[in-house]
Structure 1
Amino acid sequence: MHVVIMGCGRVGASLAAALQRLDHTVAVVDKDPRSFHRLGKHFQGKQVVGNGIDREVLGEAAVEQAAAFAAVSNGDNSNIVSARVARETFGVDHVVARIYDPKRAEVYQRLGIPTVATVPWTTDRFLRMLLPEGVATEWRDPSGAVAVLQLPLHEGWVGRRVSDVEASIGARVAFIMRFGNGVLPDRKTVVQAEDTVYVAALSGTVTDVTAAARRAPEES
């Protein structure tokens, strides 16, 4: 398929190279022609100099034939405007924009533009490396307010109801991986040995939630 990338910084160049390795055609748009040196001598796609919010520039990048569009410049406003132009003017099906400000990301998500909120995502990646015991989140909403994480659950919770776990840790059990299958629990679901439990929690409560989960349940 054909993919248009707006922004030829490190992310844009890396994304272009990865797409080319997967045998997709790629056009990269950037205002600074010097940025294209990041693509390397083996890049075979199109290099378009210009503003990624300009319809003529996007037309030169063959956005009409594009199945996907990625806006990864260093400007939130430019990314979201170009993403909206790609979707609303040219009808590109798969559009994503990189956003630095998580509050803006939430607004743009409501407009139907999938976003990658760089700061929360990067923070989570560092946490995965620094805290290998499962404290880092698996997913975070664009605003950074809600996190889904794998719960480091004390073995004493085996045989207890999900509703008891939720009441103790102060978070919602989102799903359980059981014998390789996803399970959507209800309040009567009982935690089994070897279950991997994932919860949805407010970001500011993640530390307290995981600490509570590591403790043995109180005897009723």
Structure 2
Amino acid sequence: MNILIIGCGNLGSVLANEFDRNGHDVSVVDENPDRIHLLHEDFDGLFVTGIAMDMDVLRDAGVESCDAVAVVTSDDNLNITVSQIVKKFFGVENVITRITNSYRENAFKNKFGLKTICQTNISANTIYSAIIGGGDNINIANNSNFMIDSIKVDDKYVGRAISALPLKDGASLFGIKRKSGKVLIYDLMSNIEVESGDTALYIREG
């Protein structure tokens, strides 16, 4: 398949790497050129730097010949706008739109007729099941096996944004679990601060 991915953050880069690894033709659009480094060194697809709402940028990324588009930036409004452009102007039927605000998912789905995926709902349910179930090994997607590592956060990070937490090789920061048991999902645009007693949740391929 010819896949176009809009947004190369944590989610977009994982998708791009996975599709590329499985032999699909992949193009990625992101306005931040540095995010190309989130892709594997052997990534064989196309990375286009530019604003996703720009139709010329979409054309450069091959939207006119793609089979499916995943619009997965951290900005809900941008995702909806780009999804509509891709569907209405370029005639792509298979468009998946990421929605981060779980309270608006149904409204967007009903109003705009989009296929939406709310990562917050999926992530929260997945982590909840893993934690309550007492195991770290969980199946998140077909033929994809992932592990969730829980690591207590050093108090030196208290008061700092969770984006300041150290990365682990081969793993992505997935969220924070508070002492109360509440789980907060990490997003590149989030301003969540670390609190004493927090546990960092990292996801990696098992």
Into which bin does the TM-score normalised by the smaller protein fall? Answer: 0.5 to 0.7
Q: What residue number does 2:63 align with?
A: 63
Structure 1 residue 27: deviation in Å?
A: 0.5
Q: Which runs of 4+ in 1 moved over 4 A?
A: none
Aligned to 2:77: 77
The separation in 1 between residues aligned to 2:27 and 2:130, in whole angstroms, is: 34
The 1-side partners of 2:40 and 2:129 are apart by 31
Question: For the residues of structure 1 that align with 2:40 and 2:21, how far apart are their CA atoms?
Answer: 13
Unaligned runs of 5+ in 2: 135-206
Specify every segment of 5 or more residues in structure 1 that has no aligned partner in the other structure, as ranges.
134-220
Q: Deviations over 1:31-88 (max 9, x none)?
A: 0100111112211111101011111110000101011001111111111111111111
Structure (1/2) with the larger helix percentage? 1
User: Which residue in the other structure is 2:115 paired with?
Assistant: 114
- Aligned counterpart, 1:165: none
Aligned pairs, number: 133
Query: Which has the larger share of strand?
Result: 2
Identity of aligned residues (%): 32
For residues 132-171 of structure 1, give each alpha carbon's deviation from its aligned partner in whole angstroms, at most 9, with x where no partner exists.
39xxxxxxxxxxxxxxxxxxxxxxxxxxxxxxxxxxxxxx
Q: TM-score, normalised by structure 1?
A: 0.58
1:20 matched to 2:7: no
The amino acid across from 1:39 in the alignment is L
Supply the RMSD in Å over aligned alpha carbons: 1.3
* Residue aligning to 2:190: none
Structure whose alpha-carbon radius of gyration is higher: 1
- Residue 102 of structure 2 corresponds to which residue in structure 1? 102
Matched, 1:131 2:132: yes
Q: Retained in 2: the 8 A contact 1:30–1:49? A: yes
Q: What's the TM-score, normalizing by structure 2?
A: 0.62
Taking the aligned partners of 1:120 and 1:14, their CA distance within structure 2 comes to 18
User: C-alpha offsets along residues 65-117 of structure 1, whole Å, 9 cap, x if unaligned?
Assistant: 01100111111111111111111111112111111112321122112111111
